[in-house]
Structure 1
Amino acid sequence: MGDLVIGKIINTTIVSWKIDINSAYTATLHASTVLDRSFNPLKDDIRRHFEVGDIIAAEITAFNRTRDPVLSLKGRGLGKLRRGRIIEIIPAKVPRLIGRKGSMINLIKNETNCRLIIGQNGRVWMSGKTLEIELLIERLIRKIEKEAHTSGLTDRVKELIQEEMKNLEVS
């Protein structure tokens, strides 16, 4: 519990949303946790907040094998993700993408001036200033995923970013 995930709204009920979190389980986001005021399902239409197809960053607050995961949007950076792109990686590679003490993700963010959210479910949301930068970030993430087991990866990624960013400035 407490894992950050990136999910896609796949269904709406009168009191909640069903979320695809790239898992065998479908997660639930209760309307009462999203709306700050008292929620009345007879008066309030929750579709005004999220629609099927919307992408969200959320935290898992409850889960056991007898019940689907329950999500929350209470927390910094959580909520609906606008613009940007999503890619999926193998969830086991997420720690390498983040890096020791956040070193790899911070390297990518700082060198490309982009926003990145990495879900523990293997989904990565990115938003760069241009499509070219987002495509570069995707190539970097694929490289990290493929070469996660090799040494010197951070240095190779840094060199590649600097080289590619120079090329983008020239274009």
Structure 2
Amino acid sequence: MARRIEYFGDPVLTLAQVAYQCRVEPEDMEPELIEQIIIPGVTAQCESKTGAAIRGAVYEEDWPANFVSGHALDVGQATQIVSIMSQQPDGTWAEQAGPFELQQGQRESYLFFPVARPPGPLRIRYKAGLYIDLHPGVRNWLLMAAATIYRHPEMFLVGQTLAELPSAFLDHLVADITVPPRF
């Protein structure tokens, strides 16, 4: 399972977009609620539901020795390999210079080693994030989720976290980027 190391770039929604979706003027909204709870909350829900990185972030995952060249990375929408480290016999980690190739599919990205996969366990660090303009359904999912939570906070806000949204219609908006189960 990949670990998110850090986000980079701006959040995928803005206060103005959420205000427009809610048909409310931005100055009439509670900016802290929208920017610190609702936007991060719906982004995290979408990432959890799809298995794809929605907001740009750096991830790190460990591959056991039996993962071969061409194996899929855990998080969908991977765009760039930052580093590949291989575990040495003494337990230390050494950076691998390559060659390697990241092939991006619609839902998953695959890491290939054209010459030979380094032996032993690998630690792969990569950047991932959705180019939201190519997936307007995802933006619509996020905006509908944010507006629903804003309009009905008593149903979805639990302390500083969000409860899950109903999924029948909304799931189809993110189907294009949903990573298939890996069992």
What TM-score comes out, normalization by structure 2 length? 0.30
Looking at secondary structure, tell me which structure has more strand per residue: 1
Structure with max Cα Rg: 2
